[in-house]
Every structure is written in C-alpha cells, then in structure tokens.
Chain A
C-alpha cells in the first residue's frame, strides 16, 4: 500500500510539473514555434511507442504492423474531419469525395462551435482507434498463432497490404487515392496533445497494472507456464494486439493532426522501425522509458541536432563532415551501440518511480 501511495504522489507531482511546463510553453511561445511543434510530435510518438511497447515489451509479441494501424487512424481522422466546404478542393480528383459530412461540424451543430468541434475531433480520433482495433481483431485471428519472427514479418506484410488499399484509386472517393488529405483541424496548443496522449498513456498504465496486464507479462516471461496456469493464450494475445492497435490508431490520427497532411506513402515500414528503435532506446517493457526516448529522439532529430546536417555543430565548423545525412548516421550509430551494449536501454523494464525507490532502498540498506 505504501508503495502505491508513493507512486501516486510521484505521478501526481510529475503530472502537475509537466502540465505546468506545457501551459507555460504554450503561453510563452507562438503556436508555430519549433519547440511546440517538437513537443507535439514527441507526444504523439510517445503514445505510439507506448502502444507498441504494450505489445512487444509487455506481451512479448513481436509485431511490426504499427505503421499500418497508424495509417488507419490517420485516414479516419482526416476523412471525418475535413470541413465540408473544403472537400471539393481536397478531393479535387474525386468530385469532392464520397463523404459529405465532417464530424466537428456535425457536433458543432448541437454543442456549439468550440466545444462541438473539439468533441468532433476527439470522436474522429476514437473512430480511427476503433477501426484499427477492428482490423487488429480481423487479422489477429490467423496471424497471432505465428511464432515470433513469423509474426513480425506477417504484420509487416499486412501493413504493406493496407497501404496498397489506401492508394487504390477505386477507393479514392474516400481515401483520396495517392493524393494528400489536408485542411482538417488541429489543436493549436501543445498542452492539448499532452493531455490527450497523457490520458491515453495513463489508460495503458492502468491496464498494465491490472490483472490483465499481469497476465500479459506472464505470457511474455513464459508462454508455456502462462498457459499451464490457466491463461488463455489466444484470447490474451488477441486482446493485447487489439488494445495496442487501438492506441496506435489514435496515435496515427494525432500524427495526422500534427502533420497537417496525410499521404499513405509516408506510412512505410521505416516508420515502424523508427518507433521500434525508440522503444528499444527507452527499454523494452518500460512505459516511462518509451516516453523519455520519444522525447529525446524527436527533440534531437527534429531540432537540436540539425546542426549536424548543416556544417556547424557545437561551434565546430566542418562542412565536409557535417553534411546532409550526418545527423541520421550519428543517430543510427548511437542506436546500434544501445542495441549491442546497453540492451536494456535507458530504463530496462523499470519505471521512473522504481528508480527513485531503488535509490531510497539503497540508502536504507546499510542500517538494515
């Protein structure tokens, strides 16, 4: 009980600090400031990384279908929220598209403009998540019976199939085929992103610490023992898969929100790899690790390390070395070092509060 209280206090303090910081940042900086853009993107990646961690780290299912589920979420969000009067422009090759309504406008009709559009946007995200979950349920039936690496390659393949469908011109009136979806609404403040993603991550945390989460971990640690102890493998794996995909779908919708445009072509396997590597950097099986790693990764790749690509870094001028691509090269070397020598990543399978407790316990130890 004491441990739980400690965790709660810690989480509450952390939450207040983060929220305070983000509100302060929002107030101090204009919405187009890079810090806000980067916080938004990092928040989205944190959510997606945590959802992948739920599957790969906590349930031990090595799935590489993340980009596919994000694609579903992104498109659902875009398709459902583009304002009606902008549809003709967006679906320029498909006569304004097949869908003639926009959720934020529908809700604005009876909830008022500002509340209605927020509810509409959230509803669109939710639909995206649910669609991703539905798809996960469908493909989970056959695919989850496969063993580790076969599962990985099958889910990777599935994501590619999905991408092909979304580029298919026959579905153009809905998906806009190979063309961009754009002009849909976005939350201007980083705080909105943090609250939304934070709430979803909190849900995942609650799940992981529930009896179902414990069952997932049992499956990860030893499938045979888990099954022998009465845990229905098929059911629980599917559950983890569906839940993870739901959050990936919502995350995809949020990524679309952040990007301002959606194209199926960007949801390639590279995106899945990137998220997987974030999870690895943070530590497979650590929620806080994934979050920290997302922020580190996005902050440095999108902002702080740009100098590595443009000739000057940390005051050192070396245009011959610091040229385009150097940033990513340095990055991938760091990732390989982590993969090979710090296999547990930043956090291992520990969470932030665990680390604090570890320290306090160490202090107590001599007196014992």
Chain B
C-alpha cells in the first residue's frame, strides 16, 4: 500500500439550494492515475474546483500529502439551508487561494482551454515557473537573478522538447492547433512542478488518433515526472486504458469506484450513463 497523496473527505458543495457535490470521498495514492467520470452536470469540474481552491466547499475537508489544506463548514445563511451530511463535524475554516494550492504541488488544466492568449508557447510555460521563483521584484527588475532565470529558461526548453512543442515555441499559443493547445496546457501545468496533476477533460474535442496519442503521453509524463494524475474524462477508451482506479459521480454523489473492469460491469454506472438521466 503506497502513501495517499490526495484525500477528499466528506466534501459537499452547495450553491444556494443546489447540491453540486454531495459528500464526496476519495483517495488517490502516489503515482496512480485516477479518473473521475460521470454524466454531464454530475459535479466533476466542481469537485476539481473544490480541490484546487477555486471554490470553497460548503462542508468537508481536503488533505494533500498528509496535510489538511482545505476545510469548511456551513456558515451564515447556509447553516439553515445546508442539505448535505456530516454537518457539525468540521469546525475550522481553511481556505487557501488556488495559487497557494498550486504552490503546494497541485497543478491543473481546464475543460475549456485557458492559455494566455497574447503570449508565445515558450512564455506560457515560462510564466508557470513564476510560482517557483525565489527572487523578489527588485532583483528581478535589476536582473540580479540571471542564474535563476537562465535555469528556468533551460528547464522550459527541456520541457517543451519533452512534450514535442519545441519547434513552435515562438508561436502565439492561440495559433496552435487544438490538440497542441491541450498539450501546451499540460506542459504549462508541469512547469509549476506539481506532484499531483489534475486534467479536466484533456481529450475533449480530439479525434480517436489524437486521443490515443494523448493516452500514451499521459502515461509517459507520469513516469517521467513521477506524477500522480487525477483526471476527468468522457472518452471511455482513454479512461479505461490508463486509469488504475475510477470514481463515478452522478448528481453530485459517488455512485461507484473501483478498477476499470469493475466499473465497466457496474450496473449503477451503466444506468447512469444509459438511463433516462443521460441528457439531464
């Protein structure tokens, strides 16, 4: 049994009267590739947003590398409106901003690509290195950090070569074809030097061949950078091929988890995907 890197504990996210994530519990071990699947609107991205600090959960906690990094309990108006479970079990508030979570060692990509439009491919990756910069604004302005800057640039160059984007490094990020933009987003996340990589639908909009390449790519970077990968995906081929474990979400609730084989034969999962709720 390897050590747990991420633990989501009793997390509930409620917007007004709508419970988007209902008592989510999951654990991811170091080095694993874990997928989070479920029909549209099941709360997958919301779960990602909670883990990365974009949303503050209504109740519950998130542990990262053995440390509790996020915790909340219903407050104010929410106290009376709260519909989830485990009310009253949490008393503290820990609400780091997303950048802090990233610096702790978690980096993500977005469902709808969010690259920095006016920047080149190289700069997109380089900027992600900023969170690892040790120089302050004065030494950076007066170029007293040459060494660090040079190291970062070399590092980015290497990273771009690894992901196969070195030949387009001076192009504007937005001028790349879609598949490469996805790849660039991953490279950018890698530049932040994470232990845990969160990918939000990395294969969205890709054709089968591109998906296949991506599948190999994810496995490849996991090994190369000693990462743990947590991903949301609809392409079942990709999910089944690379995930070691899968969590299935429907209407905010975990309806199943297990190995790909287990999930494929799980009746509730099949119902959720094929049932009347499909397009809800």
A residues sitting closer than 8 Å to B (CB atoms) are: 203, 206-207, 210-212, 214-215, 217-218, 220-222, 224-234, 239, 243, 285, 349
Q: Decide yes or no: A211 and B130 within 8 Å by CB, A221-B117, A222-B114 being known contacts.
A: yes
Q: Decide yes or no: A230 and B102 within 8 Å by CB, A221-B117, A221-B119 being known contacts.
A: yes
CB distance from B136 to the nearest CB of A (A): 9
Query: Does B97 lie within 8 Å of A228, measured CB to CB?
Result: no
- Binary contact readout B110-144 vs A (1 if CB under 8 angstroms, 0 otherwise): 10001111110001001111111101010011110
Q: Which chain B residues lie closer than 8 Å to A243 at the CB level?
A: 137
Give 4 new A-B contacts, CB below 8 A, not counting A214-B119, A218-B130, A285-B118.
Answer: A210-B143, A214-B130, A224-B114, A225-B115
Query: Does A230 lie within 8 Å of B131, measured CB to CB?
Result: yes
Interface centre among A206, A210, A233 (most CB of B within 10 A): A210
Q: Which chain B residues lie closer than 8 Å to A222 at the CB level?
A: 114-117
Query: Does B141 lie within 8 Å of A225, measured CB to CB?
Result: no
Task: Give Cα distance in the complex from A239 to B132, angstroms.
Answer: 18
Interface size for chain B: under 10, 10 to 19, 20 to 34, or 35 or more residues?
35 or more
Query: Does A212 lie within 8 Å of B97, measured CB to CB?
Result: no
CB distance from B50 to the nearest CB of A (A): 13
Task: Give Cα distance in the complex from A239 to B130, angstroms.
Answer: 15
CB distance from A58 to the nearest CB of B (A): 10
Task: Give Cα distance in the complex from A142 to B106, angstroms.
Answer: 29
Q: Which chain A residues lie closer than 8 Å to B110 at the CB level?
A: 224-225, 228
> What are 18 A-B contacts with C-beta separation under 8 Å?
A206-B141, A210-B143, A211-B133, A211-B152, A212-B137, A212-B141, A214-B127, A215-B130, A220-B118, A221-B118, A221-B119, A224-B114, A225-B116, A229-B99, A229-B127, A230-B99, A230-B107, A230-B131
Q: Which chain B residues lie closer than 8 Å to A206 at the CB level?
A: 141-143
CB distance from B85 to the nearest CB of A (A): 29
Interface centre among B131, B143, B145 (most CB of A within 10 A): B131
Determine if B188 is an interface residue (Cβ-Cβ < 8 Å): yes
Determine if B169 is an interface residue (Cβ-Cβ < 8 Å): no
CB distance from B40 to the nearest CB of A (A): 21
CB distance from B172 to the nearest CB of A (A): 11
CB distance from B188 to the nearest CB of A (A): 7
CB distance from B166 to the nearest CB of A (A): 16
Task: Give Cα distance in the complex from A217 to B140, angstroms.
Answer: 15
Q: Which chain B residues lie closer than 8 Å to A232 at the CB level?
A: 97, 99-100
Query: Does A225 lie within 8 Å of B140, measured CB to CB?
Result: no
Task: Give Cα distance in the complex from A65 to B135, angstroms.
Answer: 29
CB distance from B119 to the nearest CB of A (A): 7
Q: Which chain B residues lie closer than 8 Å to A203 at the CB level?
A: 141
Q: Decide yes or no: A211 and B140 within 8 Å by CB, A230-B103, A230-B192, A232-B100 being known contacts.
A: yes
Determine if B149 is an interface residue (Cβ-Cβ < 8 Å): yes
Determine if B98 is an interface residue (Cβ-Cβ < 8 Å): yes
Task: Give Cα distance in the complex from A225 to B109, angstroms.
Answer: 9
Determine if B108 is an interface residue (Cβ-Cβ < 8 Å): yes
Q: Which chain B residues lie closer than 8 Å to A228 at the CB level?
A: 52, 54, 98-99, 102, 107-108, 110, 114
Select which of A215, A229, A233 is within 8 A of B97 by beta carbon: A233
Write the chain A residue with the least CB distance to B148: A211
Q: Which chain A residues lie closer than 8 Å to B140 at the CB level?
A: 207, 210-212
Task: Give Cα distance in the complex from A243 to B141, angstroms.
Answer: 12
Q: Decide yes or no: A231 and B130 within 8 Å by CB, A212-B141, A239-B137 being known contacts.
A: yes
Q: Which chain B residues lie closer than 8 Å to A239 at the CB level?
A: 137
Task: Give Cα distance in the complex from A210 to B135, angstroms.
Answer: 11
Task: Give Cα distance in the complex from A239 to B141, angstroms.
Answer: 13
Task: Give Cα distance in the complex from A227 to B127, angstroms.
Answer: 11
Q: Decide yes or no: A225 and B114 within 8 Å by CB, A215-B127, A231-B130, A233-B97 being known contacts.
A: yes
Q: Which chain A residues lie closer than 8 Å to B108 at the CB level?
A: 228
Task: Give Cα distance in the complex from A227 to B126, angstroms.
Answer: 15
